[in-house]
Copies of this chain bind each other. A is one copy, B any other.
Amino acid sequence: MTGTPGGASTGAVGLVLARPTRLLGVEPFFMEFIAGIEERLAERDLSVLLHVVSAQDAEIAAYRRWAARGLVDAVVVVNRTEDDRRPAVLREVGLPAVLVGEPDGDLPAVRTDDTAPIRAALEHLVAAGHRAIARVTGPAGLLHTQARTTALLAACAEHGVVPAIVEGDYSEESGAKLTAALLELDEPPTAVLYDNDVMAVAGLGAAKERGVEVPGGLSIIAWDDSTLCRLATPALTTMSVDVHRFGELVAESVLELIAGGPVADRWSPAAVLVARESTKASPA
């Protein structure tokens, strides 16, 4: 079933975010992403039907409800996971979907290359003499977290480096706590790569609290650029993604899908290294 029972447009494209609502206000990524989607949808008088839930079960329940009641023309599926049950459910209920990240069978996807950016970040650190490198990841069940981990391990192996990889949840709390733990290791890292901006800025705070200077004693690279990174002291080096453009690209696939057309294969904008003040030569 597509759209309302009558076949007319519902005026909406669904987006379910399965994460703690309190995290939404903190991490700029999704609001920028939604703003990018909206920019394209608004040209066709479409809006985003946004639903925030705590877990994938509730997300699937929302899809079933939306499909049964014809509430959306299509949905955008984010944060692809291991054993992701959503593509099968969406096929079953006949809800048109654009996957963001890993493709699944015949469903259109907007893919992301995590390998090249991870290699760029690592080269930046290795070139500055760093050998003790850590990474604070997002949730390990997310496919893009796994893709970055695989890429980092491969790139590090080429340099004979064994990175310390610890799992965070994108929150300020996890960024601070995990950075503190890393700095207490017998051989603490001289550089940390974070999977988002919030954890990186919180890690900067944790380092300062312990009297570890950034970048004098510790280099920091964030992921996703934002006001947080630009206005931090020191300003953070980051892997910058044009998140707004990312949202626009996803919307373009959605519009092609709703139009019944073929949907072009799209890749999200590549993350590029923006070097600022938080990285420098290893103190070792």
Q: Which A residues are closer than 8 A to B by beta carbons?
A: 10-12, 14, 21-22, 24-26, 28-36, 38-39, 42, 45, 47-53, 58, 62, 65-66, 69, 71, 172, 198, 201-202, 204-205, 208, 226-228, 230-233, 243-244
Which DSSP category, helix, strand, loop or mixed, fits chain A's interface?
A: helix
- The distance in angstroms between the C-alpha atoms of A53 and B41, with both chains bound, is 10
Chain B nearest CB, measured from A225 CB (Å): 10
Interface centre among A10, A39, A50, A226 (most CB of B within 10 A): A50
CB-CB < 8 A to A26: which residues of B? 28, 32, 226-227
**A31-B31, A65-B45, A231-B228 known; A21-B36 Cβ under 8 A:** yes
Is there an interface contact between A34 and B11, defined as CB atoms closer than 8 Å?
no
Select from chain B the residue with minimum beta-carbon distance to A8. B69
Query: Known contacts being A204-B231, A228-B227, A244-B22, is A35 close to B52, with CB within 8 Å?
Result: yes
Q: Which residue of B lies closest to A32 (CB)?
A: B25
- Distance, CA A242 to CA B16, complexed state (A): 24
Contact B66 A11 (CB under 8 A): yes
| Contact partner, A28, options B28, B48, B201, Cβ 8 Å | B28
> How far apart are A222's CB and chain B's nearest CB, in angstroms?
12
CB distance from A230 to the nearest CB of B (A): 8
Q: How far is the CA of A31 from the CA of B19 in the complex (A)?
A: 13
Q: A227 near B198 (CB under 8 angstroms)?
A: yes
In angstroms, how far is the closest chain B Cβ from the Cβ of A191? 20
Given contacts A21-B36, A45-B62, A172-B231, 19 further A-B contacts (CB under 8 A): A11-B66, A21-B35, A22-B244, A25-B29, A25-B31, A25-B244, A26-B28, A26-B227, A31-B31, A34-B52, A38-B50, A38-B52, A39-B52, A47-B49, A48-B50, A49-B49, A208-B233, A231-B232, A232-B232
Residue of B nearest to A24 (CB): B35
| 8 tightest Cβ-Cβ pairs between the two chains A and B | A25-B32, A21-B35, A47-B51, A233-B233, A38-B52, A24-B35, A31-B31, A201-B231
